[in-house]
Structure 1
Amino acid sequence: MDNGFESNDIIANLAMTKRLRSLVYLTFLLIGVGLLWPWNNILSATLFFQNNIFKQTTIYAKLFTSSMMTVSTLSSLLFNIYLERRQHSYTTRVVRGLIWQFSAFILLTFVCSISNNIWMGLEFFIIMVLISISAIATAWTQNGIMAIANVFGSEYSQSVMMGQAVAGVLPSVVLLLVSIGKTDDHNKNDGNKGIYFYFLTTSIVCVSCIVLFFRMKIGDKLNIMSEGNATNIQTDETETETDAVPFLVLYSKLKYLVLSIITTFIVTLIFPVFGANVFVTGLPMSNVQYIPLIFTMWNLGDLYGRMIANWDMFRDPSFTPYKTFVYSVSRIAFIPFFFYFTIKSHAKDESGDNIHSIKLDLGYILLQFLFGVTNGHIISMSFMKVPESLTTDQEKEAAGGFTSIFVSTGLAIGSIISYIFAFMIGNISK
């Protein structure tokens, strides 16, 4: 393994297997894993919170999912707006966010372990506070690492994106493996036996990221790069408002890229709603096995999309940010197909044509895979094109917080719109 820093030009010319031999590249990838891992832990633990902590029928169980999404997305959005105005201390932000994330999940594990001794209303409040802290910690780390990756080069931005995709794949694969031994769609507690271990894995990932970040001396490498550049990069908290890169300056240069990001996430947030409400019709498996398979296929597609973002045809200047934006808007065309498969999965097939039913299941699996591919592809391309659209290192660092605002905004709007689709699907299933 290479412990040194390789320039973006060198990394860009290497195959993925050779890039992974660079510990610096791996550091960015692992931190990318750490960014999305906490959200996936909480998401995969939804049934655990509803059934085991809040006892299924209580108001807290009914409010948990919507409250979790609202608290998380709004906390992230507001904190990213705060960070965007303070364009300094990026290496500190990475480590600080990871430390807070570590602490949040240690406390979450502890609170859940003594659940029977806490008033349910108070526990609900504490868990929402910890979810808010986790979202803020993610925003802190993402703001810092994307700022640094923008300066290091687009390939390192892609590495962070790849890490996020890996964090999406692994929990869904684990959930799928756990579901293989299940046959009862109504037994919701079987898959929650290892939930405390899931929580603790987040803390383990955070510690690993911190160790590797310091071991590779990412902050020192950033300082060396800034010393060799004519632009003076602020690394402490003495920066004034006049030194900050204005929001409108960044928007004028990145508008199509950030609009691509926000549009992609808004459309993508319908995925969990359909993913949990389209049922198996012909394949020899139960819904408790089919639904984790769907989530796994989407995440595998997302990972593949982030990998192909580095193909020459997509890196070519002729594939402009405007084309990327048009590409993101075109994903709306997936929605009618999702409704089609939803209606078919809830309809009673009296024809007895099992081959047709199997084709429907396989077609839906392919649809979710392609939906995941387009998500990962657009998001990765957008972030990779950010440093290429800017001229100074100060702009590239400031773009880390700037793009995070649009990520959070897209997720917040998407989570709200998802309730509309949930209502529509609810009417279909009646």
Structure 2
Amino acid sequence: MAVNGPIANSMDQNKEDHDSIEEDFGSSETDALLAQASVTFSGKTEEGEPPPDRYWKVYLIFYTFGMCSVLPWNMFITADTYFDHKLRNVTVQFEPESDDDKTQLQTMYESYFSVAAQVPNVLIQIVNTGLKHKVTLQVRMLTSLSGMLILFIATTVLTQIHTDDWQSIFFYVTLISIVLINCCGALFQGSIFGLAGVLPKKYTQAIMAGQGLGGILPALISIISIAAFKDPNWSGFVYFLCAVIAIVITVVAYVILPRLEFASYYLNKQNIHLGLDFDYDTWFSNSQEAFSSEQYSSGRDIISSRSFELKTTRTPPFLAIFKKIWIPAVLVMLVFLVTLGCFPGATSQIDALNWKSQYFTPVTCFLLFNSMDFVGRSLPGLIHWPSEKQLWLLAIFVIMRAIFFPLFAFCNIQSDARTTTVIFDHDAWPILFMTVFAFTNGYLGSLCMMYGPKKVGVDEHMETAGQMMALFLVFGLAFGSLLSVPFVDSI
């Protein structure tokens, strides 16, 4: 079928655009056809403004995704009162008052939990990044959410079971549960960062800010449950029940997402780039009709109905993508390596010198960290400094965070068992350090995650870039959690 007039000129321009894509990513002849199709389709939509995100609904959904993605981690490390009770010395009548009275499991469970969470997190992220193009987004999202929901229900039920007679078994069951929950969480987290990579940068920031909120809520719920229930088992029941409710809300948000016009605009554009199961021959043969202003809307609706159900078997050019994003990828890894190296393994062991209260650790460690982390993750929605062109300055700030290792080490960590001198001998010091530590974690980490996918420059590969950034984020979490064990022991 001959194509004349403006459409012919448009397709000539599309050929030039495709040549640029092919030069950067080495597309095959088949890929060339798909790339040409994607440029033609997106060229039509770019003549006008994208549909608005009415009432910030899509932003709030990604905020919810971010909150849910960190529940597998935060819900377990923040429930220190519950696990201290479950792992206590059952041969004495009262709870231990000093570190000397604590069991080995009470002293080290947070470090074990960190390793149990982050190692499978890395492994699943690697698998997810390498195979995401072979598994539909719908399968990945619903499988991970269903797995987290079932495991958190089981954890909630376990709070009401008497485990004093099989304490070691309870500990190992909990470790296995943490491994499985974080496998699901890693699959979910990688998927949502990939999904956000095809939208404007602020939707990646929404996930990061949501993760900050996902840290605050468990800390607040922990404090409230401690105050409301004298029985740590009931406190743990309410605490983990809130996680179950949050996951149910996330499932509902995911179901709503593809029905929103703003999300559909970007996701369908990305799906065409990915080469979904779409009849291109028919599409081209009816190009004059397909690209008319009257038919465009209905054509987009047809694709929208299939957005989350189809997949592509085309392998992304991982090396070419990594070469474009390696600087922010390595930086985000270093940010979270320092963070997990100190928090919570070391920081939760800081004993109060002036504020003698059971709320010292929940407030000054977990609540303060997650509050300032939330502030840091939210600020990049307004301020982008250092900018994307100042990665050298961003790298300096990231490397400077290594100073927190000695700063926390010379606070009053494990006062009854430490072998080093306490230099910062007032509670104000760890509070100050924690404030700066948490804020820089959220702010610098968010900037890195926002800048990474946009450096690729090709819509087709932004989802993969987003998932690769998430992979390096969990590399930092895993290496940091492994580092936390010898760091605490050295003190």
- TM-score strictly above 0.5: yes
| Counterpart Cα distance in 2 of 1:397 and 1:391 | 12
Q: Alignment partner for residue 80 of structure 1, among 115, 125, 146?
A: 125
Q: Number of matched residues?
A: 390
User: How many angstroms apart in 1 are the aligned matches of 2:204 and 2:194?
Assistant: 9
Q: Provide, for residues 267-322 of structure 1, a one-character-per-residue CA deviation record: whole Å limited to 9, x for no partner.
A: 1121323422333333xx314222222122222211111122234452744333x3
* Letter in structure 1 aligned against 2:337: I
Instruction: Give matches, 1:56-95, under 5 Å.
Output: 64-88=109-133, 89-95=136-142
Q: Label 1:237 to 1:199 Cα distance change in 2 as closer, same or farther (>3 A).
A: same
Query: What CA distance in whole angstroms lies between the structure 2 residues aligned with 1:193 and 1:114?
Result: 11
Distance verdict in 2 for CA 1:172–1:58, change over 3 Å: closer
Aligned match for 1:239, one of 309, 312, 329: 312
1:26 aligned to which of 47, 57, 60 = 60
Q: Deviations over 1:247-272 (max 9, x none)?
A: 32222111111111111111112132
Tell me the alpha carbon deviations over residues 122-166 of structure 1, each in whole angstroms, 9 at most, x when there is no partner. Answer: 444433222111101111111111111110121000001111001
- How much does 1:197 deviate? 1.4
Asked if 1:217 corresponds to 2:255, the answer is no
Alignment of 1:97-112 (within 5 A): 97-112=144-159
Matching residue's letter, 1:290: F
Distance change (3 Å), C-alpha of 1:138 and 1:314: same
The residue aligned with 1:166 is 213
Answer yes or no: is the 8 Å Cα contact 1:77–1:409 preserved in 2. Answer: yes
Residue 105 of structure 1, CA deviation: 0.6
C-alpha distance 126-365 of structure 1, shift in aligned 2 (>3 A): closer
1:102 aligns to what SS in structure 2? helix
The CA distance in 2 between the partners of 1:114 and 1:131, in whole Å, is 18
- Structure-1 separation of matches of 2:103 and 2:352: 30
CA contact (8 A) 2:50 2:265 kept: no
Conservation of the 8 A alpha-carbon contact between 2:121 and 2:186: yes
CA distance in 1 between partners of 2:243 and 2:379 (Å): 28
1:142 corresponds to 2:189 = yes
Q: Distance in 1 between matches of 2:370 and 2:119?
A: 24
**1:340 & 1:173 partners in 2: Cα distance?**
28
C-alpha change, 1:115 and 1:60, in structure 2 (3 Å) is farther
Cα separation, 2, equivalents of 1:403 and 1:371: 22
| 2:74 maps to amino acid | N
- When residues 55 and 413 of structure 1 are mapped into structure 2, their CA distance, relative to the original with a 3 A threshold, is same
Rg larger in 1 or in 2? 2
Structure-2 change in CA distance of 1:84 and 1:281 (3 Å) = same
Shift of 1:94: 2.3
1:382 partnered with 2:448 = yes
Unaligned 5+ runs, structure 2: 1-48, 91-101, 277-307, 418-423
Quick check: 1:298–1:372 contact (8 Å CA) kept in 2? yes
Q: 1:181 to 1:212 in 2, by over 3 A?
A: closer
SS at match of 1:77: helix
Q: Which residue of 2 aligns with 1:310?
A: 381
Where does residue 51 of structure 1 map in the other structure? 85
Question: Hey, what does 1:271 align to over in structure 2?
Answer: 343
Q: Which residue of 2 aligns with 1:329?
A: 399
Note the 1:339-350 alignment, pairs <5 A.
339-342=409-412
- CA deviations 1:332-365 (Å, max 9, x no partner) are 1233332343389889xxxxxxxx97xx323431
* Counterparts in 2 of 1:209 and 1:218: CA distance versus 1, 3 Å: farther
- CA positional deviation for 1:416: 1.5
SS at match of 1:309: helix
Give the CA deviation at 1:8.
8.7
| Cα distance, 1:54 vs structure 2 | 6.8
Change (3 A) 1:248 1:424: same
2:13 counterpart residue number: none
What per-residue deviation string (whole Å, max 9, x for no partner) do you get for residues 227-260 of structure 1?
44662355667533xx222332222111111111
Structure 2 vs 1, CA of residues 244 and 193 (structure 1 numbering), >3 Å: closer, same or farther? Answer: same
Gaps of 5+ in 1: 1-6, 12-18, 183-188, 348-355, 426-430
Matches of 1:341 and 1:65 in 2, distance apart?
19
Say what the alpha-carbon RMSD is for the aligned residues: 3.3
Could you tell me whether the CA contact under 8 Å between 1:98 and 1:210 is conserved in 2? Answer: yes
Q: How far has the Cα of 1:391 moved from its partner? A: 1.7
- Mapped to 2, the partners of 1:75 and 1:215 lie a distance apart of 30
C-alpha separation in 2, matches of 1:125 and 1:346: 27
Q: Which residue of 2 aligns with 1:3?
A: none
Distance in 1 between residues matched to 2:171 and 2:434, nearest whole Å: 33
Indicate the percent of aligned positions where both proteins have the same amino acid.
24
Task: Give the match for residue 247 of structure 2.
Answer: 206
TM-score normalised by structure 2 residue count: 0.71
Is residue 309–residue 315 contact of structure 1 (8 Å, CA) maintained in 2? no
The answer to whether the 8 A contact 2:86-2:167 is kept is: no
Give CA-to-partner distance per residue, 1:184-215, whole Å, 9 cap, x none.
xxxxx755531111111111111101112212
How do 1:408-423 residues align onto structure 2 when only pairs under 5 Å count? 408-423=474-489
> 1 CA distance for matches of 2:168 and 2:362?
31
Partner of 1:15 in structure 2?
none
**Matches of 1:384 and 1:37 in 2, distance apart?**
21
Q: Return the alpha-carbon distance in structure 1 between the equivalents of residues 114 and 79 of structure 2.
A: 13
2-structure distance, mates of 1:8, 1:156? 15
CA distance in 2, matches of 1:152, 1:334: 34
TM-score normalised by length of structure 1: 0.80
Note if contact 1:175-1:191 (Cα within 8 Å) is conserved in structure 2: no
